[in-house]
Amino acid sequence: DAGVIQSPRHEVTEMGQEVTLRCKPISGHNSLFWYRQTMMRGLELLIYFNNNVPIDDSGMPEDRFSAKMPNASFSTLKIQPSEPRDSAVYFCASSYKIETSYEQYFGPGTRLTVT
Amino acid sequence: AQKVTQAQTEISVVEKEDVTLDCVYETRDTTYYLFWYKQPPSGELVFLIRRNSFDEQNEISGRYSWNFQKSTSSFNFTITASQVVDSAVYFCALKGNTPLVFGKGTRLSVIA
């Protein structure tokens, strides 16, 4: 079975450019999570969806960040405009249900570098 | 508020040694779940185990074992006879009525 799929795996962009990260959750999972990992702050939850609906976006750092989940098999995380401090690894994870705390399965991550 | 503390930032052991990674958590929820994840040098996060707050039975899976003690709010992870392939960052995580909260991780280096 395919796991969580993220694209691109690596992204290098210049400050001010728009960046879009993509995620395909595991089929059948109905919860999706976006995380950011940096050396300084560790793993941070940015936003999560349940049945395609955003439940909590309090972790989104600024208005420059936005996330969508138009259907059960696709989500995007967009940064516009990007800044060097956005450089990090961005993980997408999915799980079956949020209430019963099924374990989250993570994608391979997107390493973003903003110069 | 929920919190996970992994006091050991880095551990280095020689191959075949046993090593224990500590995890202490804080929560006011009566029902909660604890997890361990492994992040090898390749970068992906791999799920290892989930434990719920009602089950304090220790678990063993091959060379891995987990010790859950509610009395001390700890969920420690032991690797027996460590191998070089165990080198990774290990994260402990907690879920109560909110999504997963991760500890800062412990970087384990196993030296041949």
Residues from chain B that touch A111, judged by Cβ atoms under 8 A, are 43
How would residue A1 be classed by pLDDT, with cut points 50, 70 and 90? low
Preferred mutation among A55, A101, A110, A111 to probe B, highest tally of B CBs within 10 A: A101
Residues 93-112 of A with CB under 8 A from B: 93, 98, 101-109, 111
CB A67 within 8 A of CB A78: yes
Which of A38, A75, A73, A37 has the alpha carbon at shortest distance from A55?
Answer: A75
pLDDT tens digits, B49-86: 999 898 888 888 899 999 999 999 999 999 999 999 99
Mean pLDDT, range B22-32, rounded to an integer: 95
Q: What are phi and psi of B70, to 5 degrees?
A: -65, -30
Any A CB within 8 A of B41 CB: no
pLDDT tens digits, A11-42: 999 999 999 999 999 999 999 999 999 988 89
CA distance B74 to chain A (A): 19
CA B35 to chain centre: 7
DSSP symbol at A20: E
